Amino acid sequence: MLSSVFSPLSIKTSIDNKRTGAIMSTLLVAVAIGVAGCSNNVPDTSGVASSTQTSNNTTASPTASVSADNDQSVVAALQANLNASGIEEKVISAVPTDMDNIYWVTVEGLPAFFTDKSGKHIIQGQIIAVGAAEPIDISGALVARTAQDALKAVDKKDMIIYPAKGKTESVLYAFTDADCGYCRQLHEEMADINARGIEVRYLAWPRSEESIPKMEAIWCSEDRTAAMDQAKMGANVSGPDCSSPVAQQMALGASLGVRGTPAIFTESGQQIGGYLPAAQLAQAASIN
């Protein structure tokens, strides 16, 4: 299902970025989750740039790792075609898939997509292989691998981590917003989640312009965990100015197709949805 792109808030806009906004509108796909979450509440979807900007005027965008089977000739061809169409985002890699002459592409500031060997076409959606006993979604594994690599690259010091009690059975990454009701509901169950052997690693995903200062205050606080706990209970949180990772995490979420909060990923890169009660979350984590 195609959906128009939301602006990940405080993302700069300009006339030069209109083409980027158009491609983002095509590439950001709604994920059919079937569980509860808070959608982004910013209606402006025009002119999305490839970098985000924090309140202290620092910009950043996530950098993906280059796969060993990257085809540099496809990267060069696609980059030239994007530039010819006025799209300046940097192509990171293009790796072959199980489908002849079709490549999985990672680009700075954009969700991953498919292209052909000539780099002239952007293909968005699933590729299903048939002919075996059961259909195989070859795109699902590629999406998960892209997310796994990107999340693994985030420094632990830039996340707010709630460790498991006792042995760590699984790790979950959760893009969160202090003002999201479902995020608060999930946080209320954090003790239960941790008691089930699940470590939760929070990344910032403010859904509105008004939420950005609060999220930056949390990440700039001396005790981030305490600040997060207070914010999840509805308290106003203030903190010193700092070079926070909020902008980078917003850009990372955009590149992974995050469209609302909480957006929860397993350590293997599988997105398991939005809010789930602790018991269901533990079950979902164990099978992904």
Give the helix ranges, DSSP H, for 111-223.
Answer: 138-152, 181-188, 190-195, 211-220
Selected catalytic residue, list 71, 177, 179, 201 = 177
Selected catalytic residue, list 38, 179, 180, 201 = 180
Beta 160-162 vs 198-204: how paired, if at all? antiparallel
Q: Would you state the structure tokens that stand for residue 64, as one six-digit string?
A: 């993906």
Tokens 């072959």 label which residue? Answer: 96
Range list of β-strands (E), the chain: 38-39, 52-53, 59-60, 91-96, 102-107, 110-116, 122-123, 128-129, 136-137, 160-162, 170-176, 198-204, 260-261, 263-266, 271-273
Question: 71 an active-site residue?
Answer: no
Selected catalytic residue, list 196, 201, 207, 259 = 207
Give the helix ranges, DSSP H, for 97-237.
Answer: 138-152, 181-188, 190-195, 211-220, 224-232
Count of CB atoms situated within 10 Å of the CB of 276 = 24
Question: 183 an active-site residue?
Answer: yes
Question: 242 an active-site residue?
Answer: no
180 contacts 215 by C-beta, under 8 angstroms:
no
Rounded CA gap, 137 and 86, in Å? 32
Tokens 């996530």 label which residue? Answer: 62
Selected catalytic residue, list 71, 179, 183, 196 = 183
Rounded CA gap, 108 and 82, in Å? 13
Assign 169 to helix, strand or coil.
Answer: coil
Rounded CA gap, 172 and 271, in Å? 10
Question: 38 an active-site residue?
Answer: no
Residues marked active site are found at: 177, 180, 183, 207
